[in-house]
Amino acid sequence: MCGITGYIGTDDTGSIVHQGLENLEYRGYDSAGIAIAGESLTIQKTEGEVGELSVPTHADGMVGIGHTRWSTHGEPTAPNAHPHTDCTESVAVVHNGIIENYEALKAELRDRHTFTSDTDTEVIPHLIETHLEDGVSLVTAVQRATRRLEGSYAIAVTAADHDGIVVAREDSPLLIGHGEAATYVGSDATAFIDHTNRVTYLKTGDIARLTDDDVTVYNDGARVQRDTQTLEWDADAAGKSGYNHYMLKEIHEQPRALRQAISGRINDFETGVDLDIDLTAEYLRAVEEIQIVACGTSYHAGLYAKELLETAADVRVTVTIASEYEFSGGRDPQETLVVAITQSGETADTLSALRDAIRSGARTLAVTNTLGSTVTREADETVFIRAGPEIGVAATKTFVSQVATVTLLAAHLGEARNVLSTQATRDLLAGVQELPGAVQQILDQEPTIKEAARTHADSEAFFYMGRQAGYPVALESALKLKEISYDHAEGFAAGELKHGPLALVTPDTPVVAVLTAESAAEKTLNNVKEVKARGAPVIGVTSDPSHTSSVDQMFDIPECGPLEPVVANVALQLFAYYVADEKDRPIDKPRNLAKSVTVE
Ligand code: F6R
């Protein structure tokens, strides 16, 4: 996935577009480029990060578009970086998504047009050029060109001698920011949140013409109205606030993120939870199965949710990696609730699974962080996790906020299905309310965890094991370490140790054991003995001081029942962070990854 930014106004266009790209770099960072349009186009591109792209200073235009890329078609080189232009170099296009029929279009255009990149995107400016030759306006040329495109796209287009930006979206997200005598465009609000929080989300099929004081939106050839809303995020929330990395800042924001996730949702201990969703108690009682679909960290939150939901709501729960999902036989769509968990709300695999569920006729519920994202528009119901902007590519605060939110969902379902007694609901909700404080206690142990990370940073590989809710936490903690440190890390269900991973355990492979309450710690202690017998150093994460003698090092977790493992995860986020920091890795922008993956 990539980032799009654009600006039209009277301030310093080059600096504003460059700043927008810096804000968006977490979306992709292997090449970048800017086009400024005046009487002619000024284009700058770079292979590498936005920092290597100089700020255009002598461009004469008040219109600019920019792009930071995460390569899909063609290597991350300057010729493949966006913006791409037509033959006359007077039309510039930046694009997110994939044009599926680009080879056929290229073959058709090749006789009269010269292509200079390996990208799918380059067909777009050449198609627009073809229509501009008929003397139509830029917006009409874009309308006609996009009719030829198959696939998903968000594009921003500008051209020499045209006084605006034309944008279009099909599936890929795109939104417009409204400033004072200035208009912005972005693939997400971070592109321009320093300047305005008044936004318009475009819908799929929309094409819009932007000037500094006007936005005209068309869909299917007709003018349409789109609402403007005010975002609660502000520029400060997206800054680093003195931390070396966004990831560390976001780890430290977790107590606040958790309070936001819970705030106003627990009515009182007697009357339970208000998630503002339109699923009646009657419907929830009739649900036979909940199918959770998600990817990566969100998939791990889904596995955690299964533990909570099956216990609290006595309902069968399946959790499927979204790219493997298919609404399969033997299920009655009327009795199946499909829950898509996605921080960004834009992950292509998760959206594809959700659409499969919608086609089958099942009710759908999105659990997401992102207002206005595609998932919120396509799912029947949405619950926001309210974690605030997460810029570091490695998900941290959104994982704990997802777990807190699905805990509320579990309490809601448990009540609706008459499974949870009042006392059990109280206990579960009391546990959620204790989470911010419990996480703060972990953050207070940062120096100890940092020291442990330094000690083990040069290890050959890392293993993480746990049971029940400790199992998704083992998976998630291993994912975090491998993403940002580039060390091999593997998480597994502790019971699987002797079925394979034990072969790899040596004195140079630390093993982290999740020994929290409600994760069958007693059984996992047997696995601890097995790895210690092979000389591996063991770090235990536990609230039970009696486990101290069984491990080489302890990270102490406060007691909080079924939510103890998610608190353990916070300690292991810090551990991963400091292993990566010791190795001087680019923690916020790990190689080859992007914050949201909008291609399947
Ligand atoms: C890992 C990470 C990814 C995402 C995954 C799903 O730190 O961030 O594994 O969790 O790409 O993204 P969302 O939640 O946006 O659907």
Rounded CA separation 342/325 (Å): 15
296 lines ligand 1 (CB under 6 A): yes
The torsion angles phi and psi of 329, rounded to 5 degrees, stand at: -60, 165
Annotated active-site residue 583? The verdict is no
Give residue 240's pLDDT band: very low, low, confident or very high (50, 70, 90): confident
Q: Give the pLDDT band (50/70/90) at residue 114.
A: very high
> 50 pLDDT exceeds 90?
no
Across residues 49-60, what is the average pLDDT? 77
Of 343, 383, 600, best ligand 1 pocket probe by most atoms within 8 Å of the beta carbon: 343
Average pLDDT estimate for 565-585: 97
Which one is catalytic: 45, 482, 589, 595?
A: 595
Average of pLDDT values for 503-521? Answer: 93
Res. 472 pLDDT band, cuts 50 70 90: very high
Q: Is 70 exceeded by the pLDDT of residue 516?
A: yes
Structure token digits, residue 345:
């709300």
Q: Name the closest-CA residue to atom 3, ligand 1.
A: 296
The residues of the chain that CATH labels 3.60.20.10 are 2-236
Q: Are 78 and 120 in contact (CB under 8 A)?
A: no
Q: H-helix or E-strand containing 207?
A: strand 206-210
Q: Is the shortest distance between the CB of 297 and ligand 1 below 6 Å?
A: yes
Where do we find the tokens 């207002």? 371
Reply yes or no: is the peptide bond before residue 590 cis, omega within 30 of 0: no
Give distance in angstroms: CA of 397 to centre of ligand 1: 12
CA distances to 91, 93, 98, 133, 184 from 15, in Å: 21, 19, 28, 32, 13
The pLDDT of residue 196 is above 70: yes
CATH architecture of 246-443: 3-Layer(aba) Sandwich (3.40)
Residue 52: HSE in the Cβ half-sphere, 13 Å Cα cutoff: 12
- The answer regarding whether domain 2-236 maps to CATH 3.20.20.70 reads no
Residue 270 has pLDDT above 70, yes or no: no
- CA–CA distance, 341 with 353 (Å, rounded to integer): 11
- Between the CA of residue 596 and those of 2, 406, 475, 542, 599, what are the distances in Å? 9, 21, 19, 33, 9
Eight-state DSSP code of residue 30:
S
Which pLDDT band holds residue 458 (cuts at 50, 70, 90)? very high
**What pLDDT does 52 receive?**
87
| Predicted pLDDT at 255 | 94
- Separation CA 239–CA 236 (nearest Å): 5
Q: Is 553 in the pocket of ligand 1 (CB under 6 A)?
A: no
Ligand 1 neighbour 590 (Cβ under 6 A) = no
In the residue annotation, 595 being an active-site residue is answered as yes
Q: Top-level CATH class of 446-582?
A: alpha beta
* 574 or 235, greater pLDDT: 574
Can you tell me the distance from the alpha carbon of 209 to that of 211, in angstroms, rounded to the nearest whole number? 7
Condensed to tens digits (0 to 9), the pLDDT of residues 282-315 reads 999 999 999 999 999 999 999 999 999 999 999 9
Q: Is the CB of 347 under 6 A from ligand 1?
A: yes
Location of each CATH 3.40.50.10490 domain in the chain: 246-443, 446-582
Check pLDDT > 60 for residue 58. Answer: no
Q: Which pTM does this prediction carry?
A: 0.79
Mean pLDDT in the chain? 92
CA distance 292 to 430: 25
CA–centroid distance, 564 to ligand 1, in Å, is: 22
Nearest-5° Cα angle at 592, 590 to 593: 65
Report yes or no: 196 and 179 within 8 Å, Cβ to Cβ: yes
Q: Is the CB of 394 under 6 A from ligand 1?
A: yes
593 CA → ligand 1 middle, Å: 10
Token pair in block for residue 209? 């013409």
What confidence tens digit (pLDDT) does each residue in 417-436 have?
A: 999 887 888 888 989 999 99
